[in-house]
Structure 1
């Protein structure tokens, strides 16, 4: 038995060798000899020694070697294999073991006689006993590797190239996988990234709508409709007949569903639509809709106009035109076209400049997936990998559709026109599905350089580019020679160039965005790709913008105190509502949105001045009706004389605007002439807390205090809540909340829920009608009488407003279906020194004149209103003895008692005669 001692750094192994019995030695000897001969050749001894000691020495000699392990006993071999495998798994080389023995001489063949050492030649080196330590076995591992494999392995160029190629392939595969994941995620979310689009309200054609022919023409022109001589044959066309219009209405996806294109005949007479007929079916229609006008987007600082279209809805000649001019081998390559690259390189080298690109449609789409604008070799490689992955995972139709919806097509002021859908409306005023061959060729030709071929600024270059596209289509076999000749001769048929600022109502759009946020509809999951249908009337909005800007410029020229100073320029604002439901029809928050985005309609806090007075009178009439007493009526006589009172420990002496006093006046006269002192005395009679409560019920939510100065509008309010409060009077008692949103539709066509406020009764119809009747006198003979000089017609009611030193100028006016508020002032509260009738009223009148107001509509007097003759000096019911009387209306139950101040006689009759001649 031999046992090897543990070498440093190795676990303690053991090896037991059982020698064969002498009786079977010959058999073992012959087997060992055969194996030795096979390993070492004929030079090795073929037969073992004869004596036992020599046989043992031979077994222990290094001349007996084997490829791995050679033993005469299976148990020994099994034990050695198990030990060696364990060392191999643990990272140690295989080693043989031996027990220490006395030194013995080494024969010529390198054997160690008398030590019982079995020396094995392993695969990577010979196993020997350490000559110095005299124990353990050391395997020459690294030396054996260098000896057996040689230096050629380390420096073989073929293997190095193979390894490098494998590494590059693995890196490219990883990059392609990452690019594929990234590009396809962006591709899937490309449509979702489209900003929310905002639309105006549709224009309703019905026999209940008052309309002026010229206004209807302007609405059609704004939408891009083209006037023709004959009968309209395509959507977006109209013609004028005797007392009728024939309009081929465009198709549109409304919140309630899609309405297909339809030709109609509209008869107009006496300022009203009389009859509507469907020209296709011949049936009469109760109403028809002219599609809403796009106002802009809710994309923050990035202004874009998009209109996603399906490739199935686009005409084939548009698709053919794009393929012919942008990527003629689109349907034959796999994302990259080497031919196109070579052709572009040759053309660019030949011309000495970049005149042609070699990018395919797929590569251009991949470029649009990464809009940072970075142009580096790394980005180009990434886009190439993205193009390959898009081609591998998506169909040609999908790629072409996304491409046509994402390409940049035009610039309108600060707004980018993106996609062929928006470009069709921008240039031709029609849906992309209705583009004819010349129009489609022009759209396709603009893709390469919308600025160079801008048809409005460079019509000659645009025409040449269009004809080039037509020639390429002919060469590719997309159109025939006759089609090419006919389309080539067609002129550029463009709509009038749209306004520079696509956001036609920027203050209004900001307000819409705020309402969406307040109502929880503008979270990241819902604001992208949605369509917001609003209440705005685009024609009225355009006239409001023009009226504010023109009036303020005129004021600056006419009044030196209004000219711009370092502290700022004069500002104006206007808002119009439908009083019945609070729909905002127009909103101008300032004179220039580019210089100031501060919305003075929704964000400013200004004193309303005398514009607040109608709510004082409304509170008085309501209180008198509730108590059924003549506490306060339109005939109540108020003292217009100097007044002094103490307010919060300080003396206060209010004055009228003109600093004159008129003695006894009726409540009707006090409101019509906007007298301050009589109104303060009326407020004291009514009750200050009742006035605050009435203002709250009407919708004024700003802080108010029950002090005498509240009657003069000294507390700040927001103009939007001020105009909302007047809906109570205009609708005879029902308050309507301002609203800007009709419906919100997501990208799947689902109508999202929009919270609304139902109308609320704030005052009785009788009290509201009485206040309304007093406000009609404001524009009949009071401070608002100048309104008629601006050509306004119909029945109106209104109220001017002016604050101390004329820091704020107001005018609020309304009809049964139109309510408007105009404000003028400086943002820094600089004095205007002019009143509302001089500054705010002209703006209101210019807007109202073009608002298409139904002149025939009147307010109906509600039940519970009675009319009585009252004495002009006492306000009591007139008798036969009263020398001067006038008719007045009262809420039933609040009539004043009979007058007892006159005795009759000759003097009374003489006074009546004189008053008759005076009137």
Structure 2
């Protein structure tokens, strides 16, 4: 029995070694379990760590091709907006340009277009007499048919993500950028296994010695692991978990994979509400170039910013940024990445930054909202959440910038000049502008209001307003088209209309329309009635033409809003959307072909696949002859009519246009166009408060200011189509003049619609004397 008790006592005897072994085994099992869990979690997060940018929107590229009209100063501004740097010598790096005698040398940046990647190339662009001449590839010496200045990033689609990213491959990055990052962030990166105790001690010593934080103790892998868990408090448990994650990343991924993902994830800058993430986006933000073309000083600055982009902000703290860059260069020299001469040369280089980008990362916000809606209408649900997609649009960013400024400056001027336009509790005066290429409907600029921050309501695409007299050209177009179809002089530019008081019954109620100036001129020609925007003659013309024919013509041209065949339609009393209004004028500007408004050129998903974008083919809405005749009348609007003030703003070229004003001046419009440019300006109050001013006073100045800076080809002219003939007509009757008519004037007609000869004059001495006097007068 004693022996048994002794054995039992030996069994329960305390053995510290055995206990420690058991505890150690338990801890090892727990750590192994934690490491396994951390490995699974970290590597799942690593695999799904989004390197792609949010859904981004780009402008159209600027096309350089032979004989294209260009203003040199505009070209300089386009390059500056993209971050190109002007240098004295020949450009040697992408993103540089120089000015030569009658030529520019531009080292164009590489860019991934929907049709494929175009590599960086130096070109010489000869410019003479306002046009582009020869374009030469400076690398090969061959002539180019065209070259593209890359699109501008307009911003991201509306959504919760406010980031700018540009994923880069480590194989595309210059070695000195990788060396700079390793030198300043983790010099033993290629030798440790995720954590580096020696780096912690070295960083502590270096920071104490310098009196500032010059090195961090965390490895690049640890910093990447920290980015895998962006939210939550910085607790000891959290840091332990990140350490385990770093070890697991090193065990399962190569150094190149880790470094590439790190360089695509680090925070580099802040531009207004948008974070600049990764070295790819940072290169464009600070230097206006692709990261692959960063030189040694630029790479050192980018690497130096990683630790504290705010503290070393090169625009706000250039001295601190320069010192930080030079510190990175010194560390690179100490690590043997660069030689002493390279260090000395790079240290003397200036920062050479692009002009600081605007704080508001989204250009053309009304347009971007419109693009997002178009994508949804085309079946792409919630486009803002589609990370990595790139949307290429038709927008001209320089024209957009000038339109924004013209609307804002003009409205502020009106508020100062006119008491009735000053803000009241009901709201402030608003303005909007849109420009199209009439040949294909491409939207070149869109300003939906004076301040997007205060009102996101897009008055170009969402407002319903009465067009007033801006609708009148479609009345005349319908008349010319009907006359051509019937091959009769039913209605022509020479048709005499009675401008005298008019009373008529509409829907059982008396109606007495008046001219805007409340004056009457007696008999006037259709040409004069449109040029002077006379209401009463236009209503009489509409009655002659047929109200249903006018509705049908407006529909064919693209006005889809409700219209009724009543006399007041001739005065634009039915509300329309400004975008459909401007698109309807493409029919006249193109001599008969309607073009649908178009904002999206292509959509590319995150895999590089180009997604199909539905398009509307152009559609014939009127004959070239009827359209040309209407166009010719609209040229008189700006020659001597209600739109003649455009010339006082310095616009040059051949224009046609039409003012528009509604009752009490609640809406002010101006539509003007050339063969290549079509613009519409609108001014009014959202609550329909009267302006008591017309389109020529409020909308025309905005249009003219934009058109003056639109780079319009002043040499472009409309060609008269076949089937147009010219005849002398009697000024009082609109009939073909004979030798007996005392006064005649030339007029154009659609062949087959010429009026008959005048038979209302008997000739004689008085007739001949009048003709001679009129000859001298003209």
TM-score (norm 1): 0.81
Cα distance in structure 2, aligned partners of 1:299 and 1:360: 36
Give the Cα–Cα distance (whole angstroms) in 2 for the partners of residues 266 and 493 of structure 1. 24
- Give deviations 1:140-194, integer Å, cap 9, x for gaps: xx99999997897699887877776666555554544444334333322334652
Distance in 1 between the 2:524 and 2:196 partners? Answer: 90
Deviations 1:868-890 (A, max 9, x none): 11111111111111111111111
Distance 2:254 2:233 in 1: 28
Q: Which moved more, 1:360-369 or 1:690-699?
A: 360-369
Residue 686 of structure 1 deviates from its aligned partner by 1.5
CA spacing shift, 1:171–1:915, aligned 2, 3 Å: farther
Contact persistence 1:192–1:528 (CA under 8 A): no
Larger radius of gyration: 1
On the 8 A contact 1:521/1:527 being kept in 2, the answer is no
Q: 1:367 aligns with which of 191, 207, 226?
A: 226
Higher relative contact order (CA 8 A, sep 6+): 2
Answer whether contact 1:535 1:740 (CA < 8 A) is retained.
Answer: yes
TM-score by length of 2: 0.95
In 1: Cα distance, 2:497 partner to 2:529 partner: 8
Paired with 2:111 and 2:616, the residues of 1 have a C-alpha distance of 28
Instruction: Give the corresponding residue for 1:723.
Output: 582
CA contact (8 A) 2:51 2:165 kept: no
What is the Cα deviation at residue 363 of structure 1? 2.1
Distance in 2 between the 1:451 and 1:612 partners? 55
1:158 and 1:421 map into 2 onto residues whose CA distance is: 57
Distance 1:600 1:145 in 2: 100
- Give the match's secondary structure for 2:10: coil
Rounded to whole Å, the distance in 2 between the matches of 1:527 and 1:912 is 74
Q: More deviation in 779-788 or 242-251?
A: 242-251
Output the CA distance in 2 between the equivalents of 1:351 and 1:780.
74
The structure-2 alpha-carbon separation of the partners of 1:692 and 1:360, relative to structure 1 and needing over 3 Å to count, comes to same
Deviations 1:39-68 (Å, cap 9, x if unpaired)?
Answer: xxxxxxxxxxxxxxxxxxxxxxxxxxxxxx
1:504 and 2:343 correspond: no
Q: Provide Cα deviations, 1:220-273, integer angstroms capped at 9, x if missing partner.
A: 111222212222222222211111112222222222222222222111111111
How far does residue 765 in structure 1 lie from its aligned partner after superposition?
A: 0.7
Contact 2:267 2:278 in 1 (8 A): yes
Deviation of 1:466 after TM superposition, in Å, equals 0.4
- Offset of 1:408 from its aligned partner? 1.4
Contact 1:526 1:746 in 2 (8 A): no
Distance 2:569 2:478 in 1: 13
Once the 2 structures are TM-superposed, how far is the Cα of residue 658 of structure 1 from its aligned partner?
0.9
The 1:202/1:164 distance shift into structure 2, 3 A limit, reads same
Q: How far, CA to CA, are the matches of 1:633 and 1:671 in structure 2?
A: 12
Aligned-partner Cα distance in 2 for 1:349–1:247:
48
Q: Distance in 1 between matches of 2:239 and 2:137?
A: 55
TM-aligned CA distance change 1:492 to 1:586, over 3 Å: same
Q: Of 591, 594, 597, which residue of structure 1 is paired with 2:456? A: 597
1:912–1:395 distance in 2 versus 1, CA, 3 Å:
same
Q: Secondary structure at the match of 1:282?
A: coil
Instruction: Mark the CA change 1:458 to 1:860 in structure 2 (over 3 Å): closer, same or farther.
Output: same
SS of aligned partner of 1:229: coil
Go from structure 1 to structure 2 and tell me whether the alpha carbon gap of 1:181 and 1:759 turns closer, same or farther (over 3 Å shift).
Answer: farther
Give the drift of 1:496: 1.8
Q: Tell me if structure 2 keeps the 8 A contact 1:191–1:529.
A: no
Q: 1:511 to 1:908 in 2, by over 3 A?
A: same
1:247-304 C-alpha deviation (Å, 9 max, x unpaired) = 2222222222222222221111111112112222222222111122222122524332
Distance (Å, rounded) in 2 between the aligned partners of 1:540 and 1:507: 15
- Superposed displacement of residue 827, structure 1: 1.6
Change (3 A) 1:298 1:148: farther
The alpha-carbon distance between structure 1 residues 908 and 174, as it changes in their structure 2 partners (threshold 3 A), is farther
Change over 3 Å in CA distance of 1:750–1:912 after alignment to 2:
same
8 A contact 2:466–2:572 mirrored in 1: yes
State whether structure 2 residue 764 is matched by structure 1 residue 917: no
C-alpha displacement of 1:539 = 1.2
Taking the aligned partners of 1:379 and 1:915, their CA distance within structure 2 comes to 96
Q: Distance in 1 between matches of 2:364 and 2:151?
A: 14
DSSP 3-state at the match of 1:406: coil
Gaps spanning 5+ residues in structure 1: where? 1-141
**Residue 357 (structure 1) shift:** 4.0
CA shift, 1:321, in A, is: 0.5
Cα deviation, residue 639, structure 1: 1.4
**Which secondary structure state, in structure 2, belongs to the residue aligned with residue 258 of structure 1?**
strand
Deviation for aligned residue 1:714:
1.3
Partner residue, 2:334: 475
| Change beyond 3 A, Cα 1:173–1:514 | farther
Contact 1:341 1:359 (8 Å CA) reproduced = yes
RMSD: 2.8
- Quick one: distance in 2 between partners of 1:780 and 1:194? 51
**1:647 to partner: Cα distance:** 2.1
Would you say 1:278 and 2:145 are equivalent positions?
no
Gaps of 5+ in 2: none
2-structure distance, mates of 1:146, 1:365:
61
Distance in structure 2 (CA, Å) of the matches to 1:372 and 1:708 = 66
Structure 2 counterparts to residues 650-669 of structure 1, below 5 A:
650-669=509-528
1:204 aligns with 2:204: no
Deviation at 1:636, TM superposition (A): 1.3
* Matches of 2:520 and 2:194, distance apart in 1: 87
Stretch of structure 1 that moved more, 294-303 or 435-444? 294-303
Residues 687 and 302 from structure 1, CA distance in 2 versus in 1: closer, same or farther, beyond 3 angstroms?
same
Q: What is the aligned partner in structure 2 of residue 541 from structure 1?
A: 400
SS in 1 for 2:284: helix
- Give the 3 Å change call, closer, same or farther, for CA 540–161 of structure 1 in structure 2: same
Over 3 Å counting, the alpha-carbon distance change for 1:247 and 1:355 in structure 2 is closer
Cα distance 1:173–1:611, how it changes in 2: closer, same or farther (>3 A)?
Answer: farther
